[in-house]
A and B are shown apart, each in its own frame.
Chain A
């Protein structure tokens, strides 16, 4: 483990302890046996027809300076885990959420709160569409999610 990672590990250990005591409804920890990468499943609990009955797989990747820096969070596509349709979620699972960028992130956030924010983001959406330029982005993007220069401008969706 890298020297800085001690800091992240301590913090993630604390989060894990809290998660083991219980998570909000619709959030399940699938895999959290190391301090680098966790998998979680989330569900939208209300009757939004876009997401009803679906479960989505989230992958969290933590850097050694977590929680000073945000984790990298993407949706993962599996046979029974689709990528949710949303104007801010690309079809390769990359999420445009200011909370996950350097501007929006703060160390007060944690895995649980990110999952809850994503639940809320899906619940509030009514548009059955991908972000503009999704195909092109998915084909052309070679950047890590945190290196993408997202343009934050919309808070109505």
Chain B
């Protein structure tokens, strides 16, 4: 007697249930225990004795009851339990067997079992096909459609006299799979640059070492594989260079734009007693420091070996980070960047702050730093001393971020095409009788250089924008209205 009455109420169980038995009286032979009609009332009804005891009923009445029992069982998703109310003997219902109905039942049951799996398979194959299509497009943009066809191997698959063989089909399939990974790879490196970089950087160095140790020993132009293998290193170097040279400048612009007091570059923000990082913030800061250490752009997709050009874009796209958030900056009033100059161990994350939160910043600038902490390796995007987390979780920000990642190959390719048009013909045309003399003479090489240039120009452009914005903030004034002009 402990159940709460509000939802499930205690009920009385059949201890006191009286089971009446409507025996047939002397003047009647049958009585239906359901409708209580006797054979004098309804002489035509077929009678049934459903159980060993004396209860009997009309077949029709019994079936009505059976339907009700089945309905209740269906509602509770249990097997109908049909028993004689008096003697509790099981009551059997015989149904004529129909082969077609039985077959349909069996098939439908089986179909219902496998349909979720089928749906998942359908959806996932659509995803794979769509993402292969994207990968093919990206590959073709970077290295040209002919190289893409050659890479997949479709031409050799159908053009040889020996016809289809299993290894050839498997080769094509693996290359298609590799293409399918390009899109997700780009997005992944965009969203989780540090984690991805953590796995990819050692791999790329190892792969590069193997290539160098083999046939690729400092030939010029380098092979696509070697270029891909060097990308993480190049990016790390670029990030570090950018941070060292332009980082202080950019941070100063940033503080100016947001009306924050300028402060000593070496002050570790974590020393501030007003910093009370939550667990999540600490975790984010740690991830940021890791990302900074590995360079947020260091990335070669793990299928890079099998898929030379397709991956070349992966590494560059990440550089698109940070700056595009400038657009959202006005809306949200803060910068989304990561405080990467913080030591990973003491990683501390301040909550995001609105620009008008000036008092706190003024106080914070006060306490001097006990000791300058050397910055770990840095990413160009990690600009913000105030530990603004890069991203937040705004849907529109995430979507534009993903879109940027997926557009990157095409931007790189377009820059490559611009190079082809802009540069002297001899530089960008493959010589007919000699081996190619430079990266720019192949399309993939132009795309690669294009991606590099694009990244550099973009960084420069956004730095310039920051500079202009900082200037605008500095030079602005409240409009003065002459007394005489007032209404």
Residues of A within 8 A of B (CB): 7, 10-11, 14-15, 18, 65, 67-69, 87-88, 90, 95-99, 101-104, 106-110, 112-113, 116-117, 120-121, 124, 131-134, 136-137, 140, 148-157
The distance in angstroms between the C-alpha atoms of A120 and B20, with both chains bound, is 14
- Contact in complex: A96, B12 (CB < 8 Å): yes
Judge whether B37 is part of the interface by a CB distance below 8 angstroms: yes
Count, chain B residues at interface, CB 8 A: 35
Knowing A10-B37, A14-B36, say if A98 contacts B13 (CB, 8 Å): yes
- Contact in complex: A133, B5 (CB < 8 Å): yes
The distance in angstroms between the C-alpha atoms of A116 and B8, with both chains bound, is 26
**Which of the segments B60-68, B231-239, B423-431, B456-464 contacts the partner chain?**
B60-68
Binary contact track B1-44/A, C-beta < 8 Å → 1, others 0: 11111111111111111111110000000000111110000000
Q: List 14 A-B contacts (CB under 8 A).
A: A7-B35, A10-B37, A11-B36, A68-B34, A88-B10, A95-B12, A99-B12, A108-B34, A113-B19, A133-B4, A133-B5, A150-B11, A152-B10, A155-B14
- Given A109-B85, A131-B10, 18 more pairs with CB closer than 8 A: A14-B37, A87-B1, A88-B11, A96-B11, A101-B11, A103-B72, A107-B34, A108-B34, A108-B55, A109-B19, A133-B4, A133-B9, A134-B5, A136-B6, A149-B7, A153-B10, A154-B1, A157-B15
- Contact in complex: B4, A107 (CB < 8 Å): no
Chain A contacts of B15 at CB under 8 A?
A: 121, 124, 155-157
Partner of A104, one of B3, B5, B14: B14
The chain A residue with its CB closest to the CB of B66 is: A68
Judge whether B154 is part of the interface by a CB distance below 8 angstroms: no
The distance in angstroms between the C-alpha atoms of A120 and B37, with both chains bound, is 28
Distance to closest chain A CB from B267 (angstroms):
61
Distance to closest chain A CB from B226 (angstroms):
71
Q: Which of B18, B19, B22, B55 has the most CB of A within 10 A?
A: B18
- Contact in complex: A153, B16 (CB < 8 Å): no
- Contact in complex: B4, A132 (CB < 8 Å): yes
Chain B contacts of A133 at CB under 8 A?
A: 4-6, 9
The chain B residue with its CB closest to the CB of A149 is: B8
CB proximity to A under 8 Å, residues B66-105: 68, 72, 85-86
Chain B contacts of A156 at CB under 8 A?
A: 15
- Contact in complex: B1, A132 (CB < 8 Å): yes
- Contact in complex: A109, B13 (CB < 8 Å): no
The distance in angstroms between the C-alpha atoms of A51 and B281, with both chains bound, is 69
- Contact in complex: A112, B20 (CB < 8 Å): yes
Chain B contacts of A154 at CB under 8 A?
A: 1, 10-13
Chain A contacts of B72 at CB under 8 A?
A: 102-103
- Contact in complex: A110, B20 (CB < 8 Å): yes
Distance to closest chain B CB from A62 (angstroms):
13
The distance in angstroms between the C-alpha atoms of A68 and B20, with both chains bound, is 16
Residues of B within 8 A of A (CB): 1-22, 33-37, 55, 61, 64-65, 68, 72, 85-86
The chain A residue with its CB closest to the CB of B16 is: A120
- Contact in complex: B13, A108 (CB < 8 Å): no
- Contact in complex: B14, A98 (CB < 8 Å): yes
Knowing A14-B37, A132-B1, A151-B3, say if A97 contacts B20 (CB, 8 Å): no
Chain B contacts of A96 at CB under 8 A?
A: 9-12
Chain A contacts of B86 at CB under 8 A?
A: 108
- Contact in complex: B3, A132 (CB < 8 Å): yes
Distance to closest chain B CB from A70 (angstroms):
10
Q: Which of B10, B20, B33, B34 has the most CB of A within 10 A?
A: B10
Chain A contacts of B7 at CB under 8 A?
A: 149
- Contact in complex: A153, B3 (CB < 8 Å): yes
- Contact in complex: B21, A108 (CB < 8 Å): yes
Chain B contacts of A112 at CB under 8 A?
A: 20
Chain A contacts of B68 at CB under 8 A?
A: 65, 68-69
Partner of A132, one of B5, B17, B19, B85: B5
The distance in angstroms between the C-alpha atoms of A140 and B21, with both chains bound, is 39
The chain A residue with its CB closest to the CB of B2 is: A132
Distance to closest chain B CB from A102 (angstroms):
6
The distance in angstroms between the C-alpha atoms of A97 and B2, with both chains bound, is 17
- Contact in complex: B6, A140 (CB < 8 Å): yes
- Contact in complex: B13, A152 (CB < 8 Å): yes
Distance to closest chain A CB from B184 (angstroms):
48
The distance in angstroms between the C-alpha atoms of A108 and B7, with both chains bound, is 30
The distance in angstroms between the C-alpha atoms of A65 and B61, with both chains bound, is 11
Partner of A124, one of B1, B8, B9, B16: B16
The distance in angstroms between the C-alpha atoms of A18 and B3, with both chains bound, is 40
The distance in angstroms between the C-alpha atoms of A123 and B14, with both chains bound, is 14
Chain A contacts of B18 at CB under 8 A?
A: 113, 116-117, 120
The chain B residue with its CB closest to the CB of A151 is: B8
The distance in angstroms between the C-alpha atoms of A20 and B33, with both chains bound, is 19
Chain B contacts of A152 at CB under 8 A?
A: 10-13
Closest 5 CB pairs of A and B: A133-B5, A106-B85, A155-B13, A96-B11, A14-B36
The chain B residue with its CB closest to the CB of A24 is: B18
Distance to closest chain B CB from A34 (angstroms):
18
Distance to closest chain A CB from B231 (angstroms):
64
Distance to closest chain B CB from A37 (angstroms):
19
Knowing A87-B10, A98-B13, A121-B16, say if A107 contacts B2 (CB, 8 Å): no
Distance to closest chain B CB from A93 (angstroms):
14
The chain B residue with its CB closest to the CB of A4 is: B64
The distance in angstroms between the C-alpha atoms of A65 and B6, with both chains bound, is 28
Chain A contacts of B4 at CB under 8 A?
A: 132-133
The distance in angstroms between the C-alpha atoms of A101 and B8, with both chains bound, is 13
The chain A residue with its CB closest to the CB of B22 is: A108
The chain B residue with its CB closest to the CB of A148 is: B9
Knowing A88-B11, A88-B12, A131-B10, say if A99 contacts B5 (CB, 8 Å): no
- Contact in complex: B65, A68 (CB < 8 Å): yes
The distance in angstroms between the C-alpha atoms of A149 and B20, with both chains bound, is 27
- Contact in complex: B16, A117 (CB < 8 Å): yes
